[in-house]
């Protein structure tokens, strides 16, 4: 075997070892993060918060004049707190967020239409209905 072939062979070996160690470290960090958010169930609630944050950001950017910004923030914080305490119906929340996005938002494109004040109030009412109360 020539000297160049030996150098290339050693280089590939070092690169493969580096990639293998990198994959193990990334997998370990991924498992740690998965465990910290609570496993599969925690991942569902974390995803719900992320979806809610995106919807809040969109609604704040395109809210009608009749809906105060503080009202929007308070409403979303109430729902966010219910998600944190796991007192929410995730299926109905996901359906509600999906219906909002289908009606008013297309990622990467312009807004389909700006929601009206009654539509936002109805959305808030439906958001409150997703919270499970002890009563």
CB of 123 within 8 A of CB of 79? no
Average pLDDT over residues 16-32: 93
Distance of CA 45 to the CA centre of its chain: 9
Q: What is the pTM for the complete model shown?
A: 0.70
* Domain boundary assignment for the chain: 1-36, 39-135
pLDDT at 75: 92
pLDDT at 73: 92
pLDDT at 114: 81
How many Å apart are CA 62 and CA 19, to the nearest integer?
Answer: 45
CA atoms within 13 A on the CB side of 123: 27
pLDDT at 101: 85
Q: Copy the structure tokens of residue 105.
A: 């938002």
pLDDT at 64: 84
Residue that wins the pLDDT comparison between 60 and 6: 60
Q: pLDDT tens-digit profile of 79-135?
A: 999 998 889 999 999 999 999 888 887 666 655 678 888 999 999 999 999 988 765
Q: pLDDT tens-digit profile of 34-65?
A: 888 777 778 888 889 999 998 899 888 888 88
Residue 11 has pLDDT above 80, yes or no: no
pLDDT at 2: 67
How many Å apart are CA 18 and CA 37, to the nearest integer?
Answer: 29
pLDDT at 67: 86
């Amino acid at each position: 075997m020539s000297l160049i072939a030996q150098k290339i062979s050693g280089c590939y070996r070092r690169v493969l070892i580096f990639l293998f160690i990198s994959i193990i470290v990334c997998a370990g960090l991924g498992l740690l993060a998965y465990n910290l958010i609570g496993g599969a169930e925690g991942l569902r609630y974390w995803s719900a918060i992320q979806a809610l944050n995106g919807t809040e950001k969109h609604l704040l950017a395109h809210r009608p004049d009749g809906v105060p910004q503080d009202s929007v923030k308070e409403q979303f914080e109430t729902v966010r707190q219910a998600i944190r305490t796991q007192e929410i119906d995730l299926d109905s929340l996901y359906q509600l967020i999906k219906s909002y996005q289908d009606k008013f938002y297309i990622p990467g494109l312009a807004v389909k239409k700006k929601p009206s004040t009654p539509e936002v109030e109805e959305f808030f009412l439906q958001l409150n209905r997703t919270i499970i109360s002890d009563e």
